[in-house]
Structure 1
Amino acid sequence: MKLAVVGGGSTYTPELIDGFARLRDTLPIEELVLVDPAADRLELVGGLARRIFAKQDHAGRITTTTDVDAGVADADAVLLQLRVGGQAARERDETWPLECGCVGQETTGAGGLAKALRTVPVVLDIAERVRRANPDAWIIDFTNPVGIVTRALLQAGHKAVGLCNVAIGFQRKFARLLDVNPSEVHLDHVGLNHLTWELGVRLGGPDGENALPRLLAEHGEAIAGDLRMDRRIVDRLGVVPSYYLRYFYAHDEVVRELGTKPSRAAEVAAMEKELLAMYGDPALDEKPELLAKRGGAFYSEAAVDLAASLLGDGGSPVQVVNTYNRGTLPFLPDDAVIEVQARVGRDGAAPLPVPALDPLYAGLIANVTAYEDLALDAALRGGRDRVFKALLAHPLIGQFDYAEGLTDRLIAHNREHLAWA
């Protein structure tokens, strides 16, 4: 089995490598190719990756290349984890929206749109290269904004499934609080990527006892604290929203907060510099503790599980993924991409049925889906007017003057990445 990781020079790749090494019985990789245009980073990450495999007695071969075509040749699956423009672009995404009084974040709002505009054309080009190399290869997308990117891939006819670590993070956290094995915890996870709610926490299976009321009663303060939300929000909802709902439920508070501290991009850039220095140490043969602060917890376990199910019979039959709606949420088009539990196998992902949603959630999902429609159109066809319409449709923006100002700033800060600008 051959896997390729595009964006393999990321400082987060050792987390993925560690998962591949530990879970080799689930996903028996014979060859792993790390692909990245940054040759200097790739050398450091690739060296540590080989040492991790060697320490854990993994027999697989790890190679590195800056050539996408060479890297994806004959790959059974390709994982996409790229960041077009790097941390410098992320820094801008997190700052210029604040000038208009809107949240600065790399996956939602104006910053998220900027990332989508930069990313979708690049991902589609890579996907075409994958298809030419092996039409049967699966593409696993971890590149944000996952929902928009996955929809672009699916609409272009690629074999693709989107992946996020939010659900597996909740699963692990709830299992720890309930003192059970994570495999016993099944989530009623519903929504769009980075716009989801845990409506239930089932023990033993999808139809098992709902432990969510007990979790909220006994651990509500800790859960709300991890989300950085007021406990009253969680209690009033009676469900657990993802961290990203904070940008919607406490938007103005977050904007004020972001204006008083360094951006997350600046923090990550400093962390990456330190991590790369560590990776260059030939004595290091395991992922460093600092990597846990980088983000993306449990990504490796989720990626292994998904790849194993798509390529064979080793993964879990039911997983939370991003895939076509196909009538699951009746208020959305069939070709909207949603994030829900799905049955995953060699033929792809089929969403499991979801009970009728409270309008409180359905309304916001429908609104953000409309924005994603317009965002994808802007990413595919370009043009100032399409960018403006997407910004105006986003519930975190929604005012004419805000959308006008943000449109000008988005184009100015991203001109080098926009072929039409």
Structure 2
Amino acid sequence: MSRNALKMVTIGGGSSYTPELIEGYIKRQDQLPIKEIWLVDIPEGEKKLNIVGNMAKRMVKAAGLDWEVHLTLDRREALKDADFVSTQFRVGLLEARVKDERIPGSYGLLGQETNGAGGIFKAFRTVPIILDIVKDMKELCPDAWLINFTNPSGMITEAIQQYGKWDKVIGLCNVPVMAMMNEPATIGKELKDLTYKFAGIDHFHWHRVWDNSGKEVTMDIINKMYDGSETGLPKNIFDVKFFREQLNQMKMIPCGYHRYYYRQTEMLNHSLEEFDQNKTRAQEVMRIEHELFTLYQDPNLDHKPKQLAERGGAHYSDAACEAIASIYGDKKTHMVVSTLNRGALPDLPSDHTVEVSSIITASGALPLTFGHFQPAERGWIQLMKNMELVIDEAAVTGDYGLALQAFIMNPLIPSGQAAKDLLDEMLVANKKYLPQFADKIKELEGQGVTVHDQVAATIDEHIGQI
């Protein structure tokens, strides 16, 4: 590591989140001796890269810093001798998200970015790309740390560790960050006066909380969840309350994404209402992104706009900056990250990725022991983790049988012929980004599998708005 002249690389640099990343670096200018920031994207993202890259340059200049900000489509040039690499890309751009929402919805199933069929296909598209990035890093910056907040973050981090054989990686999610930002005030406390312990996997974790006298206050926060207090639910999740009796029994706070499983019927009905009204989340994100990039083009804008908080992934980038600063400075910061289990969750294998409270040091994440789950949570976490392992293996190998297994295992996809039909249609719809499944896709197309007309028309309508 070049201790006094850090080279920072962001893959997916044209993302609307980049201004928050730059802001996070600027806030930590005394902790991180940055010399170069490289923002990398692909040709399809060049326009956005130039817009957001020029804004990044204005932000750095306004802060009075002499950092060099480089914009490039050449990933290998950027990675050469990098110290920290962050990843925030979407394979297939928003077009792929439209398909992840619209195609399952046409089968009467949930269309969502990281859950159900959409989440599985996002992993199928993304895992091969992240492994290519790791391959380049091994050659060009073998001492660099990889900070991943490309979704589905847990599965991507798992693939990096298990298939990329890259240990210097931390996976991040904004969901725990938002909980810790919002929950303390509901019980009249500050975060510094509380101890949080999170355990599970990305988008499927629980947490408990204690105050500085050692008293557990988890149930105090749960009580506040039912009086209208703001507890940090992500913007992209419909707010239906958990069953109070269930939380009283588990005495833990589920993350917002548990709604898709604990209140599956209500969440599905809401998703299908949006589908019928052509008001899916992809459309909302398109609207927000259009507004953001219009703002970013203002030559006088040199700070992160407040509208970015509506994007759904607020605080991802700042968490990435804190992880980087903690590794560089051996700060021993408490963060919730995806990392190797190492016994923190004894109900899961020690050599696989979990999302847990950890201490971030110069050697990476040191996970804090959580202990055994009760039978209900143990059953859920073991099913979901093993499903993730099947998804990752299918993404790496292109094994159609494993892809089908993942669909059958997923609690949000009723098993049967319709599940197989949905899998086949989504494979064909995503063929541009699934070379590992090329032979099977060719076979399916030979059998006449297509994206059926009504769905294809509404997808085209959505994509026309991107």
- Provide TM-score, normalisation by structure 1: 0.94
2:40 pairs with 35, 49, 52, which one?
35
Aligned partners of 2:104 and 2:422 also within 8 Å: yes
Confirm or deny that 1:89 pairs with 2:106: no
1:230 pairs with 241, 249, 273, which one?
241
Letter in 2 for 1:291: L
CA 1:91–1:278: 2 relative to 1, 3 Å: same
Q: Which residue of 1 aligns with 2:370?
A: 354
Question: Post-superposition shift, 1:58?
Answer: 3.2
Question: Post-superposition shift, 1:403?
Answer: 2.4
Q: Give the SS at the match of 1:188.
A: strand
Question: Post-superposition shift, 1:25?
Answer: 2.3
Confirm or deny that 1:296 pairs with 2:317: no
CA 1:400–1:13: 2 relative to 1, 3 Å: same
For residues 53 and 93 of structure 1, the distance between their equivalents in structure 2, rounded to whole angstroms, comes to 36
Aligned partners of 2:174 and 2:313 also within 8 Å: yes
CA 1:339–1:180: 2 relative to 1, 3 Å: same
Q: Which residue of 2 aligns with 1:394?
A: 410
Q: Give the SS at the match of 2:124.
A: helix
Question: Post-superposition shift, 1:222?
Answer: 2.6
Q: Which residue of 2 aligns with 1:46?
A: 53
Q: Which residue of 1 aligns with 2:299?
A: 282
Confirm or deny that 1:111 pairs with 2:118: yes
Deviations 1:12-54 (A, max 9, x none): 1111111111222233322211111122111110111111122
Letter in 2 for 1:265: A
CA 1:355–1:35: 2 relative to 1, 3 Å: same
Q: Which residue of 1 aligns with 2:448?
A: none
For residues 109 and 189 of structure 1, the distance between their equivalents in structure 2, rounded to whole angstroms, comes to 23
For residues 357 and 301 of structure 2, the distance between their equivalents in structure 1, rounded to whole angstroms, comes to 37
Question: Post-superposition shift, 1:180?
Answer: 4.0
Q: Which residue of 1 aligns with 2:209?
A: 201
Q: Give the SS at the match of 1:101.
A: coil
Structure 2 matches for 1:101-140, cutoff 5 A?
101-140=108-147
Q: Which residue of 2 aligns with 1:337?
A: 353
Q: Which residue of 2 aligns with 1:18?
A: 23
Q: Which residue of 2 aligns with 1:412?
A: 428
CA 1:59–1:177: 2 relative to 1, 3 Å: farther
For residues 294 and 110 of structure 1, the distance between their equivalents in structure 2, rounded to whole angstroms, comes to 22
Deviations 1:244-265 (A, max 9, x none): 1111011122222112221111
Confirm or deny that 1:257 pairs with 2:257: no
Q: Give the SS at the match of 2:303.
A: coil
Aligned partners of 1:336 and 1:369 also within 8 Å: no
CA 1:397–1:224: 2 relative to 1, 3 Å: farther
Aligned partners of 1:224 and 1:230 also within 8 Å: no
CA 1:366–1:398: 2 relative to 1, 3 Å: farther
Deviations 1:334-382 (A, max 9, x none): 2221100122212222211112211121111100111111101110000
- Give the fraction of aligned pairs with identical amino acids, expressed as a percent: 36
Task: Name structure 1 gaps, 5 residues minimum.
Answer: none
CA 1:226–1:160: 2 relative to 1, 3 Å: closer
Question: Post-superposition shift, 1:235?
Answer: 4.7
The farther-off stretch of 22-31 and 6-15 is: 22-31
Structure number with larger C-alpha Rg: 2
CA 1:183–1:61: 2 relative to 1, 3 Å: farther
Letter in 2 for 1:157: K
For residues 33 and 377 of structure 2, the distance between their equivalents in structure 1, rounded to whole angstroms, comes to 40
Q: Which residue of 2 aligns with 1:379?
A: 395
Q: Which residue of 2 aligns with 1:157?
A: 165
Confirm or deny that 1:182 pairs with 2:191: yes
Task: Name structure 2 gaps, 5 residues minimum.
Answer: 1-5, 234-238, 439-466
Aligned length: 417
For residues 157 and 300 of structure 1, the distance between their equivalents in structure 2, rounded to whole angstroms, comes to 25
For residues 176 and 220 of structure 2, the distance between their equivalents in structure 1, rounded to whole angstroms, comes to 19
Q: Which residue of 1 aligns with 2:324?
A: 307
Q: Which residue of 2 aligns with 1:241?
A: 254
For residues 59 and 391 of structure 1, the distance between their equivalents in structure 2, rounded to whole angstroms, comes to 50
Q: Which residue of 2 aligns with 1:319?
A: 335
Aligned partners of 1:225 and 1:231 also within 8 Å: no
4+ residue runs over 4 A deviation:
223-227, 234-237
Letter in 1 for 2:290: K
Question: Post-superposition shift, 1:231?
Answer: 5.3
For residues 56 and 224 of structure 1, the distance between their equivalents in structure 2, rounded to whole angstroms, comes to 33
Aligned partners of 2:199 and 2:345 also within 8 Å: no
CA 1:18–1:222: 2 relative to 1, 3 Å: same
For residues 379 and 394 of structure 1, the distance between their equivalents in structure 2, rounded to whole angstroms, comes to 16
